[in-house]
Amino acid sequence: MANIVPAQIRVNPHYMVPEILLQYQQASGAFDTIATGDPLVRLGDGDLAVYIKRLDVRTQVQTGQFVANQLPSCTVVYNEISTPTYMIRSRAEYDHHDTAALGRVGASTVEAHRLAMRQGTFQQQRNLLLYGANPANGEGLMNTNGATALNLPADPAGNTTISTYDNGALAFFLAQQIAAIKTRTMTVGVPARFTVLTTQRIMQAISYYGIVQLTQFQREGAGSKSVRGLVDDVAGWNSDEIVWTCDDTLLGKGAGGTDVIIISMPEVKKNRVNKVNTNVFAELTPGLDATALQLVDRAAPTEIIAPLPAGAVDVVSELRSTSGWSTRPEALTIVSAGF
């Protein structure tokens, strides 16, 4: 890593704006697709794999007016699922000359390198979350075995791209996918949180100028709403919450080079009833409510500082993380949509 601070020629008198014009990158919303909205800090130092214990139940009972002498037995089957972990590392090296050079422009060398390494680490975490380190093994949300994957169907006029799609039809399609997730997870009637993750160009189309026709949807005072507004309203009627967020690495990642819309229900809530509960086995503790998650061994990268010859400093940043892990793939829908 290098500091490049060339010499400057300035006109005097002059005024120097004290703030620094920084390069901005997209702040990815990919982590909203997993439980709690952040990686879970649960790994131990050096853990190479993560396992989740799983119990399946098969119930059997005997019913009759008279007491039977032979009774069927319920069966509880145990198995495990697993995913590997990966170490993410980065390095920074600088000396007193680098410190002085950045100091002349009012920036801290230590902080600049720390934040640069962290940004690289977090971007790689995002890549692991969405695409995994070994996609062929089903790592990453985009490669989840059993997830629902479909192409955006044609609207009533035969259009198949977001920019030409009928706005009302698109809103109904997205609402249908959310309802389908609730049906697959058997949570219809139970409030849930959803995340819709897609590219900026699709998000701005459904949020700003994709206005649903008045003949298809009315609100109080008449008028109309965007695709996103209609879906939010429909979700609100069912006490659901939708988080809309973007990640432009999804550009061209869909079938045939299309963009991707990921719809995720990060946590599943148990459908509770008052007394007679046909889902009572789910009350067994401890139960895991996460449908998608990522685990790390520390909340922020660890920095290991060591001296180098001639007074330089070597800083190594490291963090261990799993790929994105959809433990309940029925809660994940991946839509390929051309723009």
Alpha helices in 205-291 (DSSP H): 227-237
Quick: pLDDT tens for 110-159. 999 999 999 999 999 999 999 999 999 999 999 999 999 999 999 999 99
Report domain extents, the chain: 30-47+86-337
Helix (H, G, I), strand (E, B) or coil at 225: coil
Which helix (H) or strand (E) is 291 found in, with range? none
* φ, ψ for residue 325, nearest 5 deg: -130, 110
Cβ-contact 336, 178 below 8 angstroms:
no
pLDDT at 215: 53
Cβ-contact 193, 266 below 8 angstroms:
yes
- The DSSP code for 226 is B
| Crossing angle between the packed helical segments 96-104 and 109-131, to the nearest 10 degrees | 90
Helix (H, G, I), strand (E, B) or coil at 309: helix
Distance CA 318, CA 297 (A): 10
Distance CA 193, CA 238 (A): 11
- pTM for this model (two decimals): 0.91
pLDDT at 220: 46
pLDDT at 305: 95
Closest Cα to residue 298, out of 64, 115, 44? 44
Beta bridge pairs of residue 194: 242
Q: What's the topology of domain 30-47+86-337?
A: phage-related protein like fold (3.90.1690)
Helix (H, G, I), strand (E, B) or coil at 180: helix
pLDDT at 69: 86
Averaged pLDDT, groups of 10, the chain, 339 residues long = 83 93 92 96 95 95 89 94 97 92 90 95 98 95 97 95 92 96 94 97 90 56 71 93 97 97 94 80 92 96 95 95 97 97
Which helix (H) or strand (E) is 198 found in, with range? strand 193-198
- The DSSP code for 72 is -
